[in-house]
Structure 1
Amino acid sequence: MTDIHIDDFYKDVAIIFLRLYATFPRKTILYVDEVCGADEPDEFGLHSERFLSGFSAMVWLAEHDYVKSDGPIKQEALDQAVLSEQGFLILSSRSEHDFVDDDQRTVVPRAIPRSIMELSKTNISLLRRAVKSQSSTMIRQTVHSLLNYKT
């Protein structure tokens, strides 16, 4: 049995990393609904568990020095969010893992210029592939390895 809340956490972290990498080094408002989808608060103004989990993933990344921000905006966003030095270095570093295709075979690209090949071996490229695959297993493995990455 899989822990769906952990799979959601890994997916949220992946999306947060991708969004902040795309705007680095510019600070941005990171909205929860951009990470885990829109949410309509209930009649008491409370958000869903899924929405709160997405917000908590953002706060967790900030507390563990992957992201810097000026703090939360209610439970809906992080204000002036940007990757920390650690977060940026992890994502822009060369991956320690081989790239595999859907059949779990190592990918050996043909006729790709060396500079492009090197860029394709970064952690951010691996993370993009994982998210594009929509495979919770691949996302989990990729994000787990990034959170264990030693800069």
Structure 2
Amino acid sequence: MADIHIEEFYKDTAIALVQLYNAFPRRVNLFVEDIAGPDEPDEFGLHSRRHMACFGSLLWLEEEGLLRYVDTIRQEALDQAVLTQQAFSRLSAPASPTLIASIEPEVIAHGDSLPPSVRADLATHIHIIRETLRMGHSARLSNVMQEIFFRDSLRH
């Protein structure tokens, strides 16, 4: 089992990427509170560790070339965020057959009865992320996000 902060990282980045994909190609404000939940700063105005970890995850996505933004809104949000071409391509791309089999066994079981366009859509990373978030399986979500983040580096 992964450390809890790594599981939170995968969940935060998955939610952020889904929000940006759903708005693509529009630029949107990406609020930490919408991803990690409400946060009340302490008496000194400092956010919780959880809030700051989520904010750090959003910044990491930008540093790794998966999103762009115009500015930060304090430590509350990214202003005018949008997916990069690299992120859009990865999210729209089909997942590996191994990942699809582990996440979507019912799709594989009924695959022949589905139209090819539907089968292709159900095999994309973005669909698998959405379904995994909906089901609430943190271990499966970790596998999906690892494939998205590290797929290219694992091939070399």
Q: Does the pair score TM above 0.5?
A: yes
Deviations 1:82-103 (A, max 9, x none): 000111000001111323368x
Deviations 1:89-141 (A, max 9, x none): 00001111323368x78832252222111111111111112111211100111
Partners in 1 of 2:106 and 2:134 — Cα distance?
Answer: 17
Letter in 2 for 1:134: G
**What is the aligned residue count?**
150
CA RMSD after TM alignment: 2.0
Partners in 2 of 1:83 and 1:101 — Cα distance?
Answer: 24
Partners in 2 of 1:36 and 1:20 — Cα distance?
Answer: 15
Question: Unmatched 5+ residue regions in structure 1?
Answer: none
Q: Does 1:107 align with 2:108?
A: yes
Partners in 1 of 2:107 and 2:30 — Cα distance?
Answer: 35
Residue from 120, 143, 152 that aligns with 1:141:
143
**If each structure's helix is expressed as a fraction of its own residues, which one has the higher value?**
2
**Aligned counterpart, 1:35:** 35
Q: Does 1:118 align with 2:144?
A: no
Partners in 2 of 1:101 and 1:40 — Cα distance?
Answer: 36
Question: Unmatched 5+ residue regions in structure 2?
Answer: none
List structure 1 runs of 4+ shifted beyond 4 angstroms: none
Deviates more, 1:111-120 or 1:23-32: 111-120
TM-score, normalised by the number of residues in structure 2 = 0.89
TM-score, normalised by the number of residues in structure 1 = 0.92
Query: Does the CA-based 8 Å contact 1:67-1:82 persist in structure 2?
Result: yes
Partners in 2 of 1:63 and 1:101 — Cα distance?
Answer: 29
Query: Does the CA-based 8 Å contact 2:107-2:122 persist in structure 1?
Result: no
SS across alignment from 1:38: coil
